[in-house]
Amino acid sequence: MALEDYRTDMEMCCRCSICKFVPLEKLTEKRHSYVCPSIARYNFHTYSGGGRTSMGLALLDEELEYDEKLLEVVYNCQMCGACDMSCKYAMDIEVLEPINEIRIKCVEGGHTVPALDGIISSLRNQATMVPGAKAKRGDWAAGLDVKDITKQQAGVIYHAGCRVCYDQDLRQVATNTIELLKKAGIDVGIAGENEICCGGRAYQMGYKEDFLNQAKKYMEIIRKSGAKTLVTGCADCYHAFKVPYDKFGLKGDLEVMHATEYLARLIEEGKLKPTKKVDIKVTYHDPCHLGRLGEPYIHWEGNPVPGHIRIFDPPKEFRRGTYGVYEPPRDVLKSIPGLKLVEMDRVKEYAWCCGAGGGVRESNPDFAKWTARERISEAESTGADAIVTACSGCEQNFKETIDECGSSLKVYDVVELLARAI
Amino acid sequence: MVLKRELYQALEDVVGPENISEAPVILGSYAQRGRPRFEAVTLPKTTEEVQAIVRLCNRFGVQFKASSSGWGAYGDAGGPGVVKLDLRRMNRILEINEKNMYVVVEPYVIYAQLQAELMKRGLNCNITGAGSNCSALPLAAHQGIGHLSVSGSYGERNQLALEWVTPEGEIVRAGSLGSIGQWWCGDGPGPSLRGIIRGNVMPLGGLGVYTKAAQKIYHWPGPATFPIEGVSPHYRPNQIPPGFMIHYISFPSPEKLSKAAQKVGEAEIGFILMGFNPGMISANIATNNNEDLAYIKQFTDSVQGPGFLIIMAGNSPRDTEYKEKALQQIIDEYGGEPLEAVEEPKNAGGFMWRFIRVTSSIREVARASGIFAGEVGGTDVFPLMHQYIMRSAPVKQRYIDEGKLLADGTDPFVQSVEHGHAGHAELLIRFNKQDPGSLKVAGEIAQFANKTAIEGHFGVPGHAWGDAAHDQYGPHTLNYHKWLRKIKKTFDPNAASESTNYITADN
């Protein structure tokens, strides 16, 4: 697929602006009624989902130059998919896909920004999205006594992800997950030093070829391991394995599960029993890539049916965020004795993004933190002691922003709290 | 043209460099494909900034145009040399006066936001039929007729005091705001200007900028938040709040429908009353176009003739009982039959909430092909509007038969305003906008509607805007177009307020 393939989708935009707001049926507070960080921060219509589709058409028709302002608009978007979900409440059109294709077109034409080029350089040279990473990738697992899937067979492969491997503050999530899986008797292994980046963020930044190279390499590692199930604690990686890997026919029959899904299943089956009290009031932040973007990819090939209503042969089922992973993380939290879960105004398919995605944290950290501050403020308004998430990217961005803005809110991963209860 | 650097710099000084742009990528998104682009887009935050921009445009001989949520194409530039005021940053609810039942908003408050805040206080507002994604300023969103208009009136009648930046940049505070600084009355003490400011269908950006306005709000007998569950697009309430009822009733003939609707008005039992046809009901519940087609067939096959959608909201058990009995009597008297699918427990709550929040208009008008058109009756005596639309609606069938329009039924919708005090009617058509034949048909239907309105003495419909339409209707309607031009010329001597969709002073 290319941008041209989404021409009719983009032409369908009627500029109604619902891409800027939470689904109107669910709007209960003016204060938290916006859903797209980009238009909320920059205000010009161009920064919205509708504005971006308009830009896509103009690019297709060569009406725009790839100037500095255009690139600023293109890359100041977290690719969180909120616009796509809100639009598809009412419309049968793709929004996020063409936005991603605009980025791919930019990259293919050499129209990029230095910050993202730097990350991709790291990916090409060191197989990680963390430039200048000093530590060894497998250090986080030291002393864990876990199988190395490059040497031993395992039923389940745990993928830690770039951020977790190279950020000391985030490693606890990975070690906790391995400990819990082992406690439940799961035959789990890791790639350790041989783990590589999934490539997911490269795809969302527009570097499609780099993503494909990375994905092919990764699937080769998995094929050799014999693992049937991949578990990851990072929502970004989860989305990569679940959606674009499938989109490009690379996933095969690999079962992809987020750690919270897998742990919720183990709790349900009685293989893990949270018994220790964790007295804390928390609110849960749905990571975009686990929630609305985490639903399975739907393969479809067909043609529009001529006429006055946009239908296809065979019928096309749109991904609308309906079947994202929303309940398992909540189920895990609710299983913890003493923990009280309170919800924010914007949850599940219309959760406000943490701000880190789509390369924004690297290319425009101020915007990433601006977006996180909005979410932190929303979390504080619930009276919670902590904001809990299920993505290392969200956790990292929240922690850094809280350090700067002086909030007393704590940040945890779901797995960390579960580990305390077991 | 490119704006003079002196002007651009002056505009930038007003709003700040972050809030002005003339970059092609920005300008392009403010223009429909193939239409003229603005020379610059500004994002004013205050009335004073709006005033300063307007004055600069006058001084430098360029035009300006403002819009709020920006759905309608009439917010676009009509030609070169126009500066845009995107009022997005003017987004505050300034006052909710519970005791006196009015609210004051800036242009970029949308109806969904306003209604959500009002419901928490036991209050509600009219919402334009275009949807709750539109501006809640009672001077935006066209006439402001909507689903709730039977009980919640519409823009013109709800509008109270307002703040207006005239085309020359004077700040006018109309109604009680102009004399005693209060918002509660639109017509005095102090200048009213209601007719000048609004006209029949609003100046649509052609007579300055409305920056704040008060509007009447209404009693809400429901819960602070509707108990909606599920994940998009499958939302529905876990229960229907006590006292709320929904029915779709079809009738053996348009005449019986009209009389039944008037009776509903006389009995004052309607919270929402819309003469939707099955195609509009189906779009409301369908979550995609394939479902829509299936529901159109199912619902069309299930009704005996034209019908209306009614939602009633009881204020007490006795009130609920009265409304149910009154409706049943009307149904019996005029041979009405319920469309059971609307009342089924799994559907009823979702239907109800989507109509109350007015979230499905986009599904109804835009999902099929991204465009809709049609003829719009005005707002006049209910039976007159009904006759008008019924006389011109049959033309739709011919075009459906020729394959030029979507076959979604030919019944127009007629709605009651203020419990039947007035009425409003529309005939919507949906078609493939890439098909030149269908675009031609849309024009032909509009012309047929104009001819019908003029020859049948039905008044000036709501779709009449722009020079050509006013020149067509004016000679048959007391030469109002000459007066409209005088208004334009008097208030906008420099023709600074871009008037493509209003009227120009020159003709």
Q: What is the pLDDT of residues B276-306, one digit of tens each?
A: 999 899 999 999 999 999 999 999 999 999 9
Indicate whether A210 belongs to any domain. yes
Residues B197 and B258 in one domain: no
For residues A346-371, give the mean pLDDT.
Answer: 98
Chain B contact present for A298, CB below 8 A: no
% of chain B exceeding 70 in pLDDT: 100
Mean pLDDT in residue range B74-88: 95
User: Contact B232/A24, CB-based, under 8 Å?
Assistant: no
Does the structure show a pLDDT above 90 at B65? Answer: yes
Residue B374 pLDDT > 80:
no
With contacts defined as CB-CB under 8 Å, which chain A residues touch B132? 24
Inter-chain Cβ pairs, chain A and chain B, closer than 8 A:
180
**Phi and psi for A353 in degrees, rounded to 5?**
-65, 150
Instruction: Give dist(CA A287, CA A261) in Å, integer.
Output: 14
A377: burial class by Cβ within 10 Å (0-12, 13-18, 19+)?
middle
* Residue of A19, A26, A55, A65 best to disrupt the B interface, most CBs of B under 10 A: A26
| Yes or no, beta carbons of B288 and A322 under 8 Å apart | no
For residue B84, the chain A residue with the least C-alpha distance is A44
- DSSP conformation letters of A200-233: HHHHHTT-HHHHHHHHHHHHHHHHHHT-SEEEES
Answer yes or no: do B151 and B268 share one domain: no
Query: DSSP string spanning B447-485?
Result: HHHHHHHHHTT----TT--SHHHHHHHGGGTTTHHHHHH
Chain B residues close to A85, C-beta within 8 Å? 232
**CB distance B159 to B170 below 8 Å:** no
Residue A130 tokens read as: 């963390």
Residue of A nearest to B437 (CA): A308
The CATH number of whichever domain residue B107 belongs to comes to 3.30.465.10
Report the pLDDT value the prediction gives residue B188, as an integer from 0 to 100: 85
Q: Does residue A135 fall inside a structural domain?
A: yes
**Residue A417 domain flag:** no
Contact A188, A257 (CB under 8 A): no
pLDDT exceeds cutoff 90 at B336: yes
CA B487/CA B501 separation, integer angstroms: 15
- Identify whether A169 is part of a domain: yes
The minimum CA-CA distance between A343 and chain B, rounded to whole Å, is 14
Residues of A whose CB is below 8 A from B86: 43-45
The verdict on residue A156 lying in a domain is yes
Mean pLDDT computed over every residue of chain B: 94
User: Which CATH number covers residue B48?
Assistant: 3.30.43.10
Q: Distance between CA atoms of A158 and A202, rounded to whole angstroms? A: 21
Q: Do B21 and A318 touch (CB under 8 A)?
A: no
Q: What is the largest CA-CA distance in chain B?
A: 72
Whether residue B13 is found in the same domain as residue B84: yes
- Out of B314, B347, B363, a domain closes at B363
At A151, the pLDDT band (50, 70, 90 cuts) reads very high
| C-beta atoms of B228 and A320 within 8 A | no
| Preferred mutation among B15, B21, B29 to probe A, highest tally of A CBs within 10 A | B29
pLDDT at B235 over 90: yes
| CA dihedral of B406, B412, B418, B422, whole degrees rounded to 10 | 140
Q: Are residues B268 and B327 in the same domain?
A: yes
**Nearest Cβ partner for A16 among B93, B228, B366:** B366
Specify if A220 maps to a domain.
yes
pLDDT tens profile A304-332 = 999 999 999 999 999 999 999 999 999 99
Q: Could you write out the DSSP letters of every residue in A83-149?
A: HHHHHHTT----SHHHHHHHHHHHHHTT---HHHHHHHHHHHHHSSSSTT--S-TTGGGTTS--EET
Q: How many domains does chain A have?
A: 1
- Is residue B377 predicted with pLDDT exceeding 80? no
- pLDDT tier at B72 (50, 70, 90 boundaries)? confident
Assess if residue A256 is contained within a domain: yes
Query: In chain A, which residues have their Cβ closer than 8 Å to the Cβ of B229?
Result: none
Number of domains in chain B: 5
pLDDT confidence bin for B507, thresholds 50/70/90: low
**Segment A143-162 mean pLDDT:** 95
3-state secondary structure of B249: strand
For residue B435, list chain A residues with Cβ-Cβ distance below 8 A. 308
Residues B260 and B286 in one domain: yes
Q: Could you report the per-residue pLDDT of B449-501, keeping only the tens digit for each?
A: 899 999 999 999 888 899 999 999 999 999 999 999 999 999 999 999 999 99
d(C-alpha B258, C-alpha B277), whole Å: 14
Instruction: Say which of B24, B292, B371 has its CB closest to residue A64.
Output: B24
Write out pLDDT tens, residues B121-162.
999 999 999 999 999 999 987 888 999 999 999 999 999 999
Does residue A164 register a pLDDT over 90? yes
Distance between alpha carbon B477 and the CA centroid of its chain, in Å?
24
Helix (H, G, I), strand (E, B) or coil at A28: coil
Query: Which CATH number goes with the domain that contains A155?
Result: 3.40.50
Pairing of strands B228-229, B236-237: antiparallel
Least confident of A77-86, B4-13, B389-398: B389-398
Which one of B363, B380, B398 terminates a domain? B363
pLDDT recorded at residue B1: 72
Q: Give the minimum alpha-carbon distance from B255 to chain A in angstroms, rounded to a whole number.
A: 31
If DSSP codes are grouped into helix, strand and coil, which group holds residue B247?
Answer: strand
Domain boundary among B169, B194, B219: B219
Bridge partners (DSSP) of residue B429 are B373
Domain of A154, in residue numbers: 126-268
- The answer to whether the Cβ–Cβ distance between A322 and B231 falls below 8 Å is yes
Cα-based distances in Å from A67 to A7, A50, A101, A360, B465:
22, 20, 18, 19, 38
Chain A hits for B232, CB-CB cut-off 8 Å, are 23, 26, 85-86, 88-89, 320-322, 349-350
For residue B114, pLDDT over 80 is answered with: yes
Answer yes or no: is A275 within a domain.
no
Q: Which domain does B499 fall in, by range?
A: 466-507
Name the residue type at position B265. G
Length of chain B: 507
Q: How confident is the model at residue B394 (pLDDT cuts 50, 70, 90)?
A: confident
Closest CA of chain A from B290, distance in Å:
6
Neighbouring CB atoms inside 10 A of B239's CB total 13
Residue B414 has pLDDT above 90, yes or no: no
